[in-house]
Every structure is written in structure tokens, then in C-alpha cells.
């Protein structure tokens, strides 16, 4: 076939899907335990939502969005992130009239036109959690505690939590000016993009990977030296609540985050698991976002986890492939029909059971049972069947026993329990 997937778009195949389902299930369980509800939002939104919500002077809006005009002439964009859409839904459906506090999560694909690399796709998946309507620093800590708990739950170890405060509307502009002044004196060192950023959004120069730009910002003023007393108080409380929850953290005064709407608490989780340093996820508070998109003054905080990265960091020794509990191998026409009857019964009882649709030789059926990694095989022959019996084989130990067909389900459940 010569029709292929679009460049940067990826298939997640059955041998990988177990990891994805495992992570998604854990996210739902952990987040719901913290009082969050799932929200499902459209993949397409009016372009304006992102240009206002994320900010015009960002890489995402400037060059990474999938934007097109539909048949009615409206400019639409495939969502590059979920926060703006979740905030839009909260405002549009006036969720705040029921309860000003909304704790929401969303799992799904996002789209960015970036250069595809190994493990990085233009359609990528995120797990997002957001709290709208609470300014109290307790919720900042709560969100971080939930995130770390979730990452530990899926088996990630050697994690480092980094936090910073980015200030707010009253103190951040002053920092921005100081940073601009400082970087203007070093502008000869900046790349072309950063020359432009210097005018539009100097904070974003922190995200630039170009070496000379990194050198230029190495001794730039720190945002932590500019935050006002209100922001400092808020940040101190966040730290206190994190300590109360038993979490250790590292202060990272260089963490700035490129998006315009971030305010106050920012955090990142770094994994040292594979010997090297990997940013796993990040998030923060964004008390200005709602005003950008809707005019109401509503605080928000949340995080997004990239699923591809997370899945790649899962413990290697853990098994994620879905295996049949039982493979029924039948020899002859009578047993084949009996196998079909048994399989239906077992499946209705919740046993993952499989058979071979072509009744071939025992050898070839057992080969398929092996390939599917079945835990047990049930061998049904004419003779045994007449006696109401069959042979149950443990595929791992090769131990075989003759069992009565009458209580097959009980026997099977018992054996699976013994050898999960
Ligand atoms: Zn640069
Ligand atoms: Zn402030």
C-alpha cells in the first residue's frame, strides 16, 4: 500500500498499547481520588482562543499551530495544548455558577507543527490536570503532590521536583524590563529569533537552545529577586504545604516558562532514571489566562504530562502486553464445537480466552498459544471429552493435569490466582 501516515503522525500498535492504557488508568484513579473529574473538549477550536490564551509572541502561536480555514471561512486550529480549551469550557458553560472551584483533567491528542524526532510527534498525547477558581497556595501544593504521587504510582523513580515563583501582574513587568535591559546589553550574542524575542517577549530567551543565547542569559537577573511581598508570601505557603506533605523540592530560580499567562508558582519534574536528566513534566499557575480569553478574573493552576515521554520511562521489567488467560486447543470437529461453547462461557465470566479458528494440528495450535503468551492452554480431545475431562497445561511451567470439565471455570480461576 502506498498511502502512509502523515510525517510526524504515529500509530500506537497493540504491543505498545498496554503501557498507554496502564498510564491512563492510573491517571484516572489518582486524579479522581484527588477530587478531579474528566472533561472532554473538542480537538478543533477557533484560532483566536490560542492566540489570545497562549499569547501571540510564542513559538506555538507563531509557527507551530495547525491552522486552516474551513468551508465557511472560519479560522480553526487543532489544539496545541488543552488548558485554554478547558478554561474556555469552564467559562462557556459557566461551571463557576455551580461551584467556583473546578478540578478537571483531560487525556488526549495535541497537535504542533514541530520538527519530528525520535519519540516526538506532531500529534502527541497529553494528560492535563487543571484547577480553576482557587488562589490559595494550598491548591498549588495539592496539584504538585498529586502529580508526584501519580508518577510514583506508575513506577517512575529518581524524580526531582523543581519549583520557582514567577511573580504576578504587579511585579513581573518590572522583572521583564530589567531582563530586557540586561539582554539588550548582550544583544550581539543573541540569535536572530532571540533578537526578535527581546522586543516581543524577552522571558522566552530562557527557552532558546542556541549556545550563545544560553551564555547571554547565564548571569541574567533572577525573577526571584523581583517578586513582590504578596507573591513571596504565596510562595512561602506553597513551600510550607509541600513540606507538610513530605515532599522535597529544589528551588530553581532559572525556571521561567515561555508562556505569557504563567504567574507565581511554576514547577518541573526531572527524572534521573536513565542516567541522564529528563524533564518529565511541568506546570504552574496562570492567574491571567482567563482575562486573556474571557474577561473574568479567575485563577488557575495545572500541569501537562507528555504521554510519549512518560511511557518511555516506565519500568522495563514490568509486563504490559495483554495476555490470554486461556488458549483452548481442540482436536477434531466435536471438540472444536465444544471449544467454541466453552470460550463463550468463559468470556462472559470475564476470562480472556482465545482459540484457533482453523482447527489445525495440536502442535500448530500450541505454537499460537505460545505466541499469544497464553497463561494456560486447555487441550480438548475426543476421548477426554467423552469422559467429561480435558488437559490443562500451565504454559510457563509446562505442568499438565487432567481436570473435570464440569468445574472448569473454578479450576481455572483458582490456578490463575495461584500464578498471576
Ligand atoms: Zn536564541
Ligand atoms: Zn507579585
Ligand 2 centroid vs 262 CA: distance in angstroms?
12
pTM comes to 0.90
Q: b/e per residue, 340-362, with b = 16+ CB within 10 A?
A: eebbeebeeeebbbbbbeebeee
Categorize the per-residue pLDDT at 258 as very low, low, confident or very high, splitting at 50, 70 and 90.
low
Measuring CA to CA, which residue among 83, 54, 263 is closest to residue 169? 263
Give the pLDDT confidence of 183-197 residue by residue, as tens digits: 999 888 899 989 988
Ligand 2 centroid vs 174 CA: distance in angstroms?
10
Q: Taking the CB of residue 300, how many other CB atoms lie within 10 A of it?
A: 25
Helix axes 172-184, 192-200, angle to 10 degrees: 140
Ligand 1 centroid vs 180 CA: distance in angstroms?
14
Top-confidence residue, 119 or 138: 138
Q: Which ligand is nearest to the CA of 192?
A: 1
Give the pLDDT confidence of 302-359 residue by residue, as tens digits: 999 999 999 999 988 788 888 899 999 999 999 999 999 999 999 999 999 999 988 6
Give the pLDDT confidence of 355-386 residue by residue, as tens digits: 998 868 999 999 999 999 999 999 999 998 89
For the chain, report the end-to-end CA distance as a whole number of angstroms. Answer: 41
**Nine-digit cell string for 341:** 461453547
Please report, for residues 50, 108, 353, 390, 391, the alpha-carbon distance to residue 339 in angstroms, rounded to integers and kept in the order given. Answer: 56, 39, 10, 11, 13
Percent of the chain with pLDDT over 70: 98
Q: Which ligand is nearest to the CA of 265?
A: 2
Amino acid at each position: 500500500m502506498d498511502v502512509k501516515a502523515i510525517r510526524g503522525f504515529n500509530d500506537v500498535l497493540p504491543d505498545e498499547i498496554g503501557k498507554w492504557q496502564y498510564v491512563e488508568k492510573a491517571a484516572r484513579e489518582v486524579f479522581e481520588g484527588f477530587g478531579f473529574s474528566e472533561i472532554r473538549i473538542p480537538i478543533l477550536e477557533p484560532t483566536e482562543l490560542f492566540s489570545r490564551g497562549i499569547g501571540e509572541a510564542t513559538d506555538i502561536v507563531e509557527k507551530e499551530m495547525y491552522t486552516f480555514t474551513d468551508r465557511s471561512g472560519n479560522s480553526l486550529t487543532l489544539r496545541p495544548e488543552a488548558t485554554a480549551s478547558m478554561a474556555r469550557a469552564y467559562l462557556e458553560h459557566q461551571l463557576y455558577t455551580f461551584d467556583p472551584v473546578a478540578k478537571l483533567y483531560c487525556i488526549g491528542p495535541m497537535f504542533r507543527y514541530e520538527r519530528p524526532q525520535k519519540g516526538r510527534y506532531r500529534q502527541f498525547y497529553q494528560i492535563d490536570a487543571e484547577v480553576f477558581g482557587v488562589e490559595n497556595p494550598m491548591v498549588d501544593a495539592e496539584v504538585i503532590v498529586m502529580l508526584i504521587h501519580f508518577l510514583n504510582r506508575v513506577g517512575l523513580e529518581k524524580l526531582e521536583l523543581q519549583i520557582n515563583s514567577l511573580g504576578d501582574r504587579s511585579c513581573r513587568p518590572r522583572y521583564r524590563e530589567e531582563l530586557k535591559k540586561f539582554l539588550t546589553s548582550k544583544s550581539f550574542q543573541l540569535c536572530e529569533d532571540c533578537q526578535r524575542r527581546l522586543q516581543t517577549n524577552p522571558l522566552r530567551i530562557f527557552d532558546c537552545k542556541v549556545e550563545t543565547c544560553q551564555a547571554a542569559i547565564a548571569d541574567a537577573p533572577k525573577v526571584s529577586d523581583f517578586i513582590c511581598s504578596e507573591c513571596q508570601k504565596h510562595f512561602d505557603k506553597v513551600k510550607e504545604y509541600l513540606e507538610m506533605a513530605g515532599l522535597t523540592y529544589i528551588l530553581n530560580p532559572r525556571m521561567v516558562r515561555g508562556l505569557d499567562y504563567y504567574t507565581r508558582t511554576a514547577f518541573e519534574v526531572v527524572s534521573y532514571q536513565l542516567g541522564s536528566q529528563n524533564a518529565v513534566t511541568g506546570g504552574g499557575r496562570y492567574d491571567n489566562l482567563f482575562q486573556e480569553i474571557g474577561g473574568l478574573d479567575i485563577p488557575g493552576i495545572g500541569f501537562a504530562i507528555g504521554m510519549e515521554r512518560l511511557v518511555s520511562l516506565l519500568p522495563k521489567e514490568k509486563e504490559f502486553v495483554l495476555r490470554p488467560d486461556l488458549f483452548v486447543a481442540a482436536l477434531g470437529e466435536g471438540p472444536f464445537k465444544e471449544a467454541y461453547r466453552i470460550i463463550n462461557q468463559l468470556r462472559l465470566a470475564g476470562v480472556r480466552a482465545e482459540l484457533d479458528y482453523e482447527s489445525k494440528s495440536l502442535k500448530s495450535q500450541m505454537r499460537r498459544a505460545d505466541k499469544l503468551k497464553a497463561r494456560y492452554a486447555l487441550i480438548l480431545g475426543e476421548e477426554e471429552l467423552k469422559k467429561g475431562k480435558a488437559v490443562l497445561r500451565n504454559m510457563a511451567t509446562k505442568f499438565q493435569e487432567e481436570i473435570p470439565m464440569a468445574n472448569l471455570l473454578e479450576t481455572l480461576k483458582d490456578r490463575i490466582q495461584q500464578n498471576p
